[in-house]
Amino acid sequence: MAGRPRNEKKPVEPLQAGRGATSYDVARLAQVSQSTVSRAFTDGASISEDLRRRVLKAAQTLGYQPNAIARSLITRRSNLVGLLIGASTNLYYPEVLFELSLRISERGSRVLLFALNAESDIDTVLEQVWRYRVDGVIAAARLNGDQVADFKTRGVPLVFYNRVLPEGAVSSVTVDHAEGERRLVDRLVAAGHRRFGIVGGPEDSAVSVERMRSAMDRLRHHGIEVLGTARGDYSYQSGADAFDALRRDLDTPPDAVICANDTMAIGVMDCARIRHGLMVPGNLSVVGFDGAGASRWMSYELTTIRQPVRRMAEAAISMLLERVETPDLEAETRMFSGELIEGRSARLT
């Protein structure tokens, strides 16, 4: 019996009914090795365009898609980045989450979101983080020394977002909270304001603590003591309630209110106007911090410090993935200056 001509390709047997295509099937159809199939589906892998096109065409013909879970068992990488973020009502964090998710996806990984009702819930959330074997974590939440040490013990890289560990033992990306508050206070004082109230966030929020402390330190620098403080949970309603409390508890009403974030500042503005009949900024100046999208709405045009969210997100992801690839890299901090947005909520001249 005559044999098959040497250059004739061996026919590929059809797949059995009900069985999904595998990389082996793709390799047979494309007449390449399985390692070539793997490289064709790996970003940045060394493979010619001709081979890549041949593999992708075979994969399309067979309806093949790489199995990310199976691949993670081989590479020992899950391609998952954990993101710890507070679940408090805050118009700023959706923008942060979008930017981080977008930048992480561009790097071929995916976000696994862990939301906290309060930053003090971190222990419970960390138990979930360990179960998913994430490649690394970006934390927009407070962690104590023991929790940070647990990351090191488990070999999971960690980068703080918008906060800095005082000991400097963890890489972090942050806006300069103190500088932002100094700029706001200096402009308000220069415009003649002397009666200040402060609306801070939750007591367990490191960001709120730093912003309140920085504002009060700068006011003392100008020889001004704060009339009173109130706290919210970063939400709109808590801002409104905090202003009610300031008006109720103070004999002399403030002529300026410094808020730890934009959402509470918007709540303060609406409360001042609607419940107390005050003109903003005629009777009361209000400032926030973050640069949330709603702060630019025409009803508010809030005076605030806008964070460079896109640049901060890119920096956080770059730092994290560098440490996934090179675990022994030293910790570093990248600090960004915020932009002063002069809205119509405060009298600055």
pLDDT of residue 345: 97
Which residue has 């990310």 as its token pair? 68
Asked if 285 contacts 257 with a C-beta cutoff of 8 angstroms, the reply is yes
Instruction: Check whether residue 96 and residue 186 sit in a common domain.
Output: no
Kindly indicate the confidence band of residue 89, based on its pLDDT and cuts at 50, 70 and 90: very low
Q: Tell me if 184 sits within 8 A of 303, measured CB to CB.
A: yes
For residue 142 the two structure tokens come to: 């407070």
| CATH number for the domain harbouring residue 199 | 3.40.50.2300
Question: Residue 89: inside a domain, yes or no?
Answer: yes
Contacts 24+ apart (CB under 8 A), 149-154: 150/126, 154/130
In a domain, 11, yes or no: no
Domain contains 4: no
In this structure, the answer to whether residues 145 and 169 fall within a common structural domain is yes
pTM of the model: 0.74
Residues 6+ apart with CB under 8 A from 307: 92, 162, 175, 290, 291, 336, 338
Q: For residue 33, what is the domain's CATH number?
A: 1.10.260.40
> Last residue of a domain, which of 5, 37, 66?
66
* Same-domain status, 260 and 295: yes
The burial class, CB within 10 Å (0-12 / 13-18 / 19+), for 193 is: buried
The mean pLDDT value for 24-43 works out to 80
Same domain, 196 and 120: no
| CB 158 within 8 Å of CB 148 | yes
Q: Are residues 61 and 151 in the same domain?
A: no
In the predicted model, is pLDDT for residue 206 greater than 50? Answer: yes
Average pLDDT over residues 100-121: 80
**pLDDT for res 1:** 46
Q: By C-alpha distance, which of 335, 316, 330, 336 is closest to 109?
A: 316
| Per-residue confidence (pLDDT) for residue 51, from 0 to 100 | 87
Instruction: Report if residue 107 sits inside a domain.
Output: yes
Pairing of strands 304-306, 339-341: antiparallel
What is the per-residue pLDDT for 46? 79
Q: Do 217 and 297 have their domain in common?
A: yes
Give the tens place of pLDDT for each residue, 243-299. Answer: 999 999 998 899 999 999 999 999 999 999 999 999 999 999 999 999 988 899 999
Does residue 189 sit in the same domain as residue 301?
yes
Does the pLDDT of residue 211 top 50, yes or no?
yes
The reply to whether 199 and 316 lie within a common domain is no
- Same-domain status, 250 and 209: yes
Q: Specify if 159 maps to a domain.
A: yes
More confident position, 219 or 251 = 219
Q: What is the mean pLDDT of the chain?
A: 85
Predicted pLDDT of residue 101: 86
pLDDT at 23 over 80: no
Please list, in sequence order, all residues whose beta carbon lies within 8 angstroms of the beta carbon of residue 13, skipping any fewer than 6 positions away.
Answer: none
pLDDT category of residue 66 using cuts at 50, 70 and 90: low
- Same domain as 102, residue 123: yes
- Please check whether residue 141 lies inside any domain of the structure: yes
Does residue 7 form part of some domain?
no
pLDDT digits 0-9 by tens, 130-170: 888 888 999 888 788 888 888 888 889 999 998 877 666 88
* Residues of the domain holding 99: 76-175+310-336
Q: Are residues 208 and 230 in the same domain?
A: yes
Residue 68: pLDDT over 60: no
Domain count, the chain: 3
Considering the domain boundaries, does residue 345 fall inside one?
Answer: no
**Is the Cβ–Cβ distance between 256 and 285 less than 8 Å?**
yes
One domain, residues 61 and 80 = no
The confidence score (pLDDT) of residue 12 equals 53
